[in-house]
Chains A and B, each alone.
Chain A
C-alpha cells in the first residue's frame, strides 16, 4: 500500500496530535534524562567516596595509639591528612561563630584518609575501635544519596505517568477520529476493507504524525537537558557537581522517541480493533 487512502481525515486532528505528542516526548526525554543524570551522579559520587573515611579523635590521650595504627597499616592507606586547627575552625565556624582562640582547645583532632580498598578501610576501622570515631564517608553521605535515589524514583514515576498520558491521548484521538468519520468507516466496510486494512491505515497516519512530533520533542529537549545538567555541575556542590549523562544514557534517550512511536502505533491498533468490533 503506497499511501494512506482514507485517513487523510486524520488531518482534522493532526495539529493537536503533533502538539500533544511533541510535548509528551519533550517531557519524557527530560524526565528520563534527569533521572539518568542523577542516577549516574549518585553512582559516581558513591564511587568517589567509597574508600574515604574521617577519623575523629576526641580524647587527646589516644592520639598516639591512633597514629600507631596508621603507621602499622601504611600498606592499606593511600593518603592520609590531618586537618589542621585553622581548617577545623573554618569548618566549624557556622556553629561556633567567633572566639576561635578560646574554643580551639576543645576541637577534636581529625584525619582524612583515603584507603586502597574497602576491605582495607574496614580493617583499619576495626583497629581504631573505641579509641576514636571512625566515620566512613559513604555512611555520612547516605541521607544525600537516599534523597538522590528518591528523586530518580520520582522522575521515573513521572515518566510512567507521561507514558500513560500518551496512551490515553492516542487512544482518544483514534476514538475521536473513528467517531468523526463513522461514515467513512462504514464505506470502507462496504467496499470490503478488512479490520486489518482499516487498522493499518490508522497506524500509518499515527506513525507519521508521531515520528514528526517525537522528533521535534526530542530535538527541543536535548539542549535543555544539557543546559540543566551543565548549570547543576557548575554549582560544584556535592551531588549536583556529579550529575552526568553517559554515552549509554544518551543512547537510552535516543530510544525514547522510537519507543513512544511504537507505543502509539500499538495503542492505535488496539483502540481501532476495539472500535471496529464494537460497531459490528
Chain B
C-alpha cells in the first residue's frame, strides 16, 4: 500500500468534512500511546476500510471518533464541532447522528431481538407505533423478521451481527463505524453485509469507516484504506472513493429507506 496525502489538500473539500483529526494522540491510563499525532479529514459520504494488526489501534480510532474514548492530545471535530470540550448531553446529541457496530455484537441478552433493534429509537423518545413500524421493516430487511421475539443468545453469530447492524442502521446515521463486523461471518455473509454498507453509503450518503482484517474484502471492494501501524495512521487506495447520489441522510421516519435497502438484503445470512 502506498501512503497518500488526504483530503486536506483537496481544494473545497474542507466544507464537506465530517470527521477531522488534528495531532490526536490516544492512550489508556498511563500506558504508552496507542496512537500518536494522527491527523486527517474525512468528507461526508466517504467509505473507508480501516486496517492494521491486532492491537494496532483500530478500535481505539473508532472509539475516538464515537467519543467513547477521549484523546490525550490533539483536536477531534465531528460534523465540524470540536468534541474535546463537549458536555455529555452534546456528545449524546452528536451520537444521535452516528452508529457503531462491534465485532462482539454488543446486544442486550435479556431483551428480545425486537427490543434490541428498537433501543436506539426508544432512547430518542420515539413514539411506540412508529418504532414498531420501523423495527419490523428493519428486521424484514435484514431477514430476521421471524426472530423478532427471540432472545439474541439463541441466534447464530451471523444473525446476531445482523441484529447489531439493524440496530445501528435504524437511526439512519450520517456516520457509520463498524469494528470488524464481518469477523464472525463466513465469506458469503461477509459479502452480503458489505453490500448492505455499500448501499447505505451510495443511497444515503452515509460516511462509513469499516475496520477489518480481511484482505480479500479490501481487494474486492476497492475503497480507500486507513492503515494503523506503529501508532501512526496512513492512507492508501483511491482518493475519490465515492461521489454520493444524495447529500443528506433521509428523515428517520422514512420507511422507504428500508424498503429500498430491503431489495438487496432480504435474505442476508439465512442460508
Residues of A within 8 A of B (CB): 1-2, 5-6, 8-9, 184, 186-195, 197, 276-277, 280
CB neighbors of A among B113-129 (8 A)? 115, 119-120, 122-125, 128
Instruction: Kindly state the separation between the CA atoms of A194 and B111 in the bound complex, as whole angstroms.
Output: 20
Contact B128 A9 (CB under 8 A): no
Cβ of B110 within 8 Å of any chain A Cβ, yes or no, is yes
Contact B108 A193 (CB under 8 A): no
Contact A190 B111 (CB under 8 A): no
Contact A192 B123 (CB under 8 A): yes
Cβ of B96 within 8 Å of any chain A Cβ, yes or no, is yes
CB neighbors of A among B76-109 (8 A)? 88-89, 91-92, 95-96, 98, 100, 106-108
Instruction: Kindly state the separation between the CA atoms of A18 and B100 in the bound complex, as whole angstroms.
Output: 37
Q: How far is the CB of A178 from chain B (nearest CB, A)?
A: 15
Contact B89 A195 (CB under 8 A): yes
Q: For this complex, into which size category does the number of interface residues on chain B fall?
A: 20 to 34
- The contact of A195 among B88, B96, B122, B171, by CB within 8 Å, is B88
Residues of B within 8 A of A (CB): 66, 68, 88-89, 91-92, 95-96, 98, 100, 106-108, 110-111, 115, 119-120, 122-125, 128, 167, 171
Q: How far is the CB of A13 from chain B (nearest CB, A)?
A: 14
* A contact residues around B123 at 8 Å (CB): 5, 188, 191-194, 197
Contact A194 B92 (CB under 8 A): yes
Instruction: Kindly state the separation between the CA atoms of A8 and B111 in the bound complex, as whole angstroms.
Output: 9
* Also in contact, A190 and B68, with CB within 8 A (given A2-B128, A195-B92): yes
Residue in chain A with minimal CB distance to B122: A5
Residue among B95, B107, B123, B128 with max Cβ neighbours from chain A (10 Å): B123
Contact A276 B88 (CB under 8 A): yes
Instruction: Kindly state the separation between the CA atoms of A195 and B92 in the bound complex, as whole angstroms.
Output: 8
Contact A192 B124 (CB under 8 A): yes
- The contact of A8 among B96, B110, B119, B167, by CB within 8 Å, is B110
Q: How far is the CB of A77 from chain B (nearest CB, A)?
A: 76
Query: Chain A's interface: helix, strand, loop or mixed, by majority?
Result: helix
Q: How far is the CB of A8 from chain B (nearest CB, A)?
A: 6
Contact A1 B100 (CB under 8 A): no
Residue in chain B with minimal CB distance to A193: B123
20 new A-B contacts at CB < 8 Å, known A5-B122, A8-B111? A1-B122, A5-B115, A6-B108, A184-B108, A186-B68, A187-B106, A187-B107, A187-B119, A190-B66, A190-B68, A190-B100, A191-B120, A191-B123, A191-B167, A192-B98, A192-B123, A194-B92, A195-B88, A197-B125, A277-B88
* A contact residues around B125 at 8 Å (CB): 1, 197
* A contact residues around B106 at 8 Å (CB): 186-187, 190
Q: How far is the CB of A274 from chain B (nearest CB, A)?
A: 12
Instruction: Kindly state the separation between the CA atoms of A184 and B152 in the bound complex, as whole angstroms.
Output: 14
* B contact residues around A191 at 8 Å (CB): 119-120, 123, 167
What are 13 pairs between A and B in contact, CB < 8 Å?
Answer: A1-B125, A5-B119, A9-B110, A186-B106, A187-B108, A190-B68, A192-B95, A192-B124, A195-B88, A195-B92, A197-B123, A276-B88, A277-B88
Instruction: Kindly state the separation between the CA atoms of A280 and B95 in the bound complex, as whole angstroms.
Output: 14
* A contact residues around B128 at 8 Å (CB): 2
Residue in chain A with minimal CB distance to B96: A192
* Also in contact, A193 and B88, with CB within 8 A (given A9-B110, A188-B123): no
Instruction: Kindly state the separation between the CA atoms of A276 and B171 in the bound complex, as whole angstroms.
Output: 23
Q: How far is the CB of B165 from chain A (nearest CB, A)?
A: 13
* B contact residues around A186 at 8 Å (CB): 68, 106
* A contact residues around B96 at 8 Å (CB): 192
- The contact of B120 among A184, A192, A277, by CB within 8 Å, is A192
Residue in chain B with minimal CB distance to A8: B110
Q: How far is the CB of A242 from chain B (nearest CB, A)?
A: 56
